[in-house]
Amino acid sequence: MPAAKPALQQEECAPELVVAHRNIAPLGPGGPHPLTKPRPDLHSVPPVRKEGNFQPRVPVITGEASYRGSAEVHGIISGQLGAAASTLTIKQRPRNGSTEPELDGELSFKDLLRINGHVAGKVLSPKGTLIVDQSATVEADIDVGVCVVNGTVIGDIVGHERVEVTPGATVKGNIATRSLSIKPGAMFHGDCRMLRNDDSGDR
């Protein structure tokens, strides 16, 4: 009767299995197998950011002013607003013929303000100079020191010092001022009242 085979005897592996086991690096404190480590070149490529169809436009106003009201924005607003200082950037899409005002509220300033877009409401500065650009439309009551209209104004104008309406400009409203200049080619629909030196121009 043959002797029984020991239960704990180590069996020989096939040669191909031995070779396969020798090529596998064991797990250790260094981390997983090298083939499972993340490739560094995959993380060095920055993610692709898709830019929207935004185009920078001419700002609605140029100058230092305080504003209370609503603003229409066809795009993205980014920046920081604080009590001491503020930085605000607006990237806008093309307006596609929109007739809504970009600013609708009360706009007040001290020295000089240029309007380049569509503004509605009130524009106030008893001693300041307001310039309405050729491409601008102002649907507002204006009360300023000097008003120079190169575009379109729909509303009453009070110029405590003077009002100038240049060629190609349009004013639909009443004008009250001490000095009025309307150049040939300008259009003025309304009444004019000349102020005295002691007249504040209040309507």
Q: Name which residue leads in pLDDT, 61 or 148.
A: 148
CA distance 109 to 103: 15
Q: Please tell me whether residue 35 adopts helix, strand or coil conformation.
A: helix
CB under 8 A, 24+ apart: contacts of 11-14:
none
Of 5, 117, 31, nearest to 67 (Cα)? 117
- Does pLDDT of 7 surpass 50? yes
Q: How confident is the model at residue 203 (pLDDT cuts 50, 70, 90)?
A: very low
SS3 state of residue 34: helix
Is the pLDDT at 145 greater than 90, yes or no?
A: yes
pLDDT in tens, 151-184: 999 999 999 999 999 999 999 999 999 999 999 9
pLDDT at 36: 53
Q: Indicate the domain borders of the chain.
A: 61-71+100-194
Cα–Cα distances (Å) from 85 to 25, 80, 81, 88, 114, in that order, read 61, 9, 7, 10, 21
Categorize the per-residue pLDDT at 14 as very low, low, confident or very high, splitting at 50, 70 and 90.
very low
Per-residue pLDDT tens digits for 57-90: 667 777 777 877 777 666 656 555 555 555 555 5
pLDDT digits (tens, 9 = 90+) for 84-141: 555 555 555 555 556 778 888 898 988 899 998 889 999 999 899 999 999 899 999 9
Distance CA(124)–CA(184), nearest Å, equals 28
Q: Backbone phi, then psi, for 181, in 5-degree steps?
A: -130, 115
* CA 116 – CA 135 distance, rounded (Å): 6
**3-state DSSP assignment of residue 22:** helix
User: Which is more confidently placed, 5 or 62?
Assistant: 62
The pLDDT value recorded for residue 192 is 94
Helix (H, G, I), strand (E, B) or coil at 56: coil
> What is the SS3 assignment for 75?
strand
Mean pLDDT of the chain, nearest integer: 75
Asked if the model's pLDDT at residue 49 lies above 90, the reply is no
Q: Which of 53, 30, 199 is nearest to 126 (CA)?
A: 199
